[in-house]
Amino acid sequence: MIAPNDTASASATPSASGSSNNGNAPHVKNFTPLVRQFLDYLKLEKHFSDYTVKSYGADLIQFAQFIAGEIGHANTAPVGATLTPEQIDERQLKCEPLTIREFLAYLYAQNYTKSTTARKLATLRSFFKFLIRRGAVSVNPLSTIRTPKQEKRLPKCLDLEQVQKLLDAPEDNDLLGARDKAMLEILYSSGIRVSELVELEMSDLDLQEGILRVRGKGRKDRLTPIGSQAIKAVQRYFELRSADARNPGTATQRVFLNKHGEPLSTRSVRRKLDKYLVEAGLDPGISPHTLRHSFATHLLNNGADLRSVQELLGHQSLSPTPIYTHLTTSRVKQVYDDAHPRANTGTIPHPASANAESAGQPPHKPYYPAKAG
């Protein structure tokens, strides 16, 4: 049995009060001891990002509410009866597949999408695998539960003209404009995630070689090249930043700072992108991740191999990368048209027919074998 971990730091686990509660369900004030240990494990040992840990915590809060009878089951918890965190843990340790199926039925009744349901199931799978490794349970109640089949949706992608409009939108005449232009140029030039962008430090940039050191998921570093336009934009940003009176100097090593000289957040990057989408007249549904999709798609369209794109994106395996191959149909079609002998011509003359016509004889009719049966 796992001993309760009451000393988990607030910085290592997200706050329950900030989690989504789905309407009328009461908030769970604290994580249970087991959940707290699990989130500490994700943060301290697996090196998951704060955002990912917070998402796991929100999912487990909802599941705790469900098995406590506070949501679902027609709210079967007696009025005024509240389970302690330890009692909730006891129910989680005794959880059976039927409880998981009932939880899935509740999510379905609440009109959750298949992707959200799959994410919540993935959270529970990881949680119970953690409990098994620690010897708290012997059987995973999700071992017989299948994840709902996902809809196959292709990621959004900008064409080259749209990318150009977006990258031209910020003016680099002042510090903040130069910063925004540098951010967008790096996102498209390197394909890094927005979370990786905001964590870039000065020591991660080698502008002479055109290389970024990127801290990816699980704190796995990788080196990623950037192009000449991105280098030029970053140099312009650094030039204005060093001349600015608010320059924090060595107080922070982060590359991208807000107007107060503090590290920029992922939400701030999204707000800036939204601003320039409006100015460029582009789809407001475009996200920073769309630039990552566009980066990968344009590389593949121009002849990059899948393995190289996988390395540049920081994918640990090839499995997530092939989604981009669905967006390269136009290039495949062009290769087909250029290479296949029957792609653009009406017919290919039969050799015997060509010889017969040259001899002034009637064309030879090709032989087609009869179909069996």
Catalytic residues: 193, 217, 289, 292, 315, 324
Beta-bridged to residue 212, according to DSSP, are 205, 224
- Of 103, 150, 142, 107, the closest CA to residue 125 belongs to 142
Q: How far apart are CA 40 and CA 24, in angstroms?
A: 29
CB 330 within 8 A of CB 349: no
- Of 6, 30, 5, 8, the closest CA to residue 17 belongs to 30
Task: Give the pair of three-digit tokens for residue 188.
Answer: 């498209």
Task: Give the pair of three-digit tokens for residue 138.
Answer: 């012997």
Q: How many CA atoms lie within 13 A of 291 on its CB side?
A: 26
Q: How far apart are CA 202 and CA 242, in angstroms?
A: 13
Task: Give the pair of three-digit tokens for residue 87.
Answer: 């009692």
Q: How far apart are CA 251 and CA 186, in angstroms?
A: 23
Q: Enumerate the H helices of the chain as residue ranges.
A: 33-40, 50-67, 85-93, 97-109, 114-133, 160-168, 175-190, 194-198, 228-243, 266-280, 288-301, 306-313, 329-339, 351-358
